[in-house]
Amino acid sequence: MNSEVIRMQIALVQYGAAQEQINIEDARNFFLPVPPLEEQKHLADSLSDLTAPFDRARNTAQREIDLIREYRTRLIADVVTGKLDVRGVDLAAYGDEIVGLDEALADEGDAGDEELALVDEAEE
């Protein structure tokens, strides 16, 4: 729609002094250059091939995020239910890492509701 062919067609039907505009009926009659179907398929396949590594990287990162969330939820549940004894653990030594992980996971979505439900279950 930003090609020279379309710009020339718009210039022919524009009206208005301060705010130029076009009528939608005029736009319906524009000639739009479209490549043949085979070329469109070739372009789509080429783009898919070029973006495949990015798609794989995104999927891998998402799987890792999901596993970290699952691990975090399981860890919290184990601590709350007493399956994991954390007495005597010096959290100050891990303070920055814990805060950084919390922020990273919070940026990806709200997993806190799940954890609160586990805490509530354990308290009952």
pLDDT score recorded for residue 121: 55
- CA distance from start to end of the chain: 62
Q: What integer pLDDT is reported at residue 2 of this predicted model?
A: 83
- Tokens representing residue 56 in the block: 């794989």
CA separation for the pair 108, 27 (Å, rounded): 42
Q: Where are the domains of the chain?
A: 58-123
pTM of the model: 0.48
The contacts of residue 14 (CB under 8 Å, 6+ apart) are 20, 21, 22
Q: For residue 90, what is the DSSP state? A: -
Question: pLDDT digits over 7-17, tens only?
Answer: 899 888 888 87
